[in-house]
């Protein structure tokens, strides 16, 4: 038996070594962005046709009218949501961003004359399997409209198929869903906007030559769309200074979905690879991850707010505090507390067989210490 144990142990070691050698060669051949681009192209093609038809037919007057009520925070004339049902599957309950979206939808629903009991809610828990399960449950409840906030665009195609078959329209939030109007942020654009803002700060400091590193705290497991939320930042720098200057100083790390702990570890690892870097431009997918990163920089004794140019995405409650505390230079606001102002008018329009624009983009703004009180008075 001891010989067998020895042979098994040696065998295990060999298997592990062979796996480590073979794995890099087996990594996914296809470029993930190709799929994203295909999905986006398909959506764009579909919606372009719709837009042309709609413009010919007279635009989105009903939706625009509802939007005006929503923006003003007034009751919608004629209570257009009365007697209708709305389903909302949230990407991940408990996260400040998602809670703000949900709260605003409920507020707007009431303003639109809807009964709070007629909104069906489910938490997708950032899990595609649960997202699908929730979609099935919502389908059984037969709502008039589904607002789908689910992280994987490819799984959304299955959800879309099921709801299309049932004749229930969908509105996609932040992640595209085939055959559905898209509401939310253009992840690449907001990230690019953040990059441009960081470049302004870098230029004021003395230009790119003074920058030792550019750090992108990403979440690859979140899918292609979420990757764009940091890659736009990088692209802004490349467009300004060229890839030959930017690529050698760019560092990417997986900071997780929003756990400060994982981001902290990722940042600690990066810091050890750039021991001499002092002037750094950095972004992350949200403010929770940035909290972990800043803690890691401070723990390493390398924090200097004058030398770290940080722009985050979202500007949730954590982000607002970070701006006020001088920890970050700016945050591209997604205004989750205004999402309902787009989603409910769009839902109400669909419920009343009216047309909805194919893309409902939030007007993003870079919030900094100079304008934070204007947008978010204390």
Partner 1 sequence: MAENANAGISKKRHFKINNTAILFIILAGMFIIASYVGRPFFFSKLNLIPMINNLSFIGVVAAVLTMVMVTGEIDFSIGGNIGLTACLTALLLERGLPGWLVVVIVLATGAAMGAFNGMVVTVIGVNSMIATIGTMFIWRGIGYTLTNGESILAMNPVIDYIGRGFVFKVIPFPIVLLVVVFTITYIVMHHSKWGRKIYAIGSNPLASFLSGINVKKVKFIGFLICGMTASLGGLILTSLTAVGMPQHGQGLELLIISSIILGGTVLGGGKGTILGTLAGVFILSVLYNFLTIMNIYYFYMQIVQGTILILIVSTYEMKQTMIRRRT
Q: Which residues here bind partner 1, judged by CB under 8 A?
A: 4-5, 8-9, 12, 15, 19, 23-24, 26-30, 32, 35, 93-94, 119-123, 125, 127-129, 132-134, 136-137, 139-142, 152, 154-155, 157-158, 220-221, 223-224, 254
To partner 1, the closest distance from the beta carbon of 214 in angstroms equals 21
Where helices occur in the chain by DSSP H, the ranges are 2-26, 32-57, 61-72, 96-111, 128-141, 153-166, 187-205, 224-241, 243-246, 260-273, 287-299, 317-324, 339-351, 372-375
Strands 250-254 and 213-218 turn out to be parallel
Residue 37: C-alpha distances to residues 31, 33, 34, 176, 238 (Å): 10, 6, 5, 11, 20
Q: Nearest to residue 314, comparing CAs of 345, 280, 283?
A: 283
Evaluate whether 170 touches 146 at the Cβ level (below 8 Å).
yes
- Minimum CB distance to partner 1 smaller for 119 or for 356: 119
* 166, two tokens: 């049932």
Report the SS3 class of residue 223: coil
To partner 1, the closest distance from the beta carbon of 116 in angstroms equals 10
- Minimum CB distance to partner 1 smaller for 1 or for 204: 1
To partner 1, the closest distance from the beta carbon of 32 in angstroms equals 4
- Minimum CB distance to partner 1 smaller for 71 or for 141: 141
Q: Nearest to residue 89, comparing CAs of 173, 211, 163, 200?
A: 173
CB-facing half-sphere around the CA of 177: CA atoms within 13 A: 29
To partner 1, the closest distance from the beta carbon of 94 in angstroms equals 7
- Minimum CB distance to partner 1 smaller for 32 or for 206: 32
To partner 1, the closest distance from the beta carbon of 316 in angstroms equals 19
Evaluate whether 150 touches 124 at the Cβ level (below 8 Å).
yes
- Minimum CB distance to partner 1 smaller for 35 or for 201: 35
To partner 1, the closest distance from the beta carbon of 29 in angstroms equals 7
To partner 1, the closest distance from the beta carbon of 196 in angstroms equals 27
Radius of gyration from C-alpha coordinates of the chain: 23
To partner 1, the closest distance from the beta carbon of 252 in angstroms equals 12
- Minimum CB distance to partner 1 smaller for 168 or for 238: 168
* 267, two tokens: 């940042």
- Minimum CB distance to partner 1 smaller for 61 or for 137: 137
- Minimum CB distance to partner 1 smaller for 24 or for 248: 24
Residue 378: CB atoms within 10 Å: 6
């Amino acid at each position: 038996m001891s010989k067998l144990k020895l042979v098994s142990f040696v065998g295990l070691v060999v298997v592990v070594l062979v796996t480590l050698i073979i794995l890099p060669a087996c990594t996914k051949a296809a470029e993930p962005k190709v799929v994203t681009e295909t999905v986006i192209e398909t959506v764009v093609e579909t919606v372009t046709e719709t837009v042309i038809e709609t413009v010919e037919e007279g635009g989105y007057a009903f939706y625009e009218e509802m939007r005006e009520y929503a923006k003003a925070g007034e009751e919608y004339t004629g209570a257009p949501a009365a007697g209708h049902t709305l389903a909302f599957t949230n990407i991940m309950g408990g996260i400040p961003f998602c809670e703000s979206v949900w709260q605003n939808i409920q507020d707007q629903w009431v303003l639109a004359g809807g009964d709070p009991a007629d909104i069906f809610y489910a938490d997708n828990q950032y899990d595609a399997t649960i997202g699908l399960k929730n979609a099935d449950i919502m389908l059984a409840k037969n709502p008039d409209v589904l607002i789908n906030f689910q992280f994987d665009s490819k799984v959304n195609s299955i959800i879309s198929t099921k709801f299309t078959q049932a004749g229930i329209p969908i509105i996609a939030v932040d992640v595209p869903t085939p055959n559905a109007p898209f509401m939310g942020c253009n992840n690449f654009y907001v990230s690019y906007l953040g990059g441009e803002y960081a470049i302004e700060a870098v230029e004021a400091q003395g230009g790119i030559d003074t920058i030792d590193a550019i750090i992108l705290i990403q979440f690859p497991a979140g899918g292609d769309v979420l990757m764009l939320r940091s890659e736009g930042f990088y692209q802004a720098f490349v467009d300004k200074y060229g890839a030959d200057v930017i690529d050698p100083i760019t560092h990417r790390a997986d900071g997780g979905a929003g756990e400060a702990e994982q981001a902290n570890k990722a940042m600690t690892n990066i810091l050890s690879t750039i021991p001499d870097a002092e002037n750094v431009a950095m972004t992350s997918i949200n403010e929770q991850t940035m909290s972990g990163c800043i803690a890691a920089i401070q723990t390493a004794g390398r924090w200097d707010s004058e030398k770290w140019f940080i722009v985050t995405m979202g500007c949730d409650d954590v982000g607002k505090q970070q701006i006020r505390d001088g920890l970050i230079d700016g945050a591209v606001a997604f205004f989750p507390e205004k999402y309902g102002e787009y989603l409910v008018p769009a839902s109400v329009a669909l419920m009343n067989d009216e047309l909805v624009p194919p893309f409902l983009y939030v007007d993003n703004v870079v919030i900094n210490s100079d304008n934070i009180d204007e947008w978010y008075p204390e």
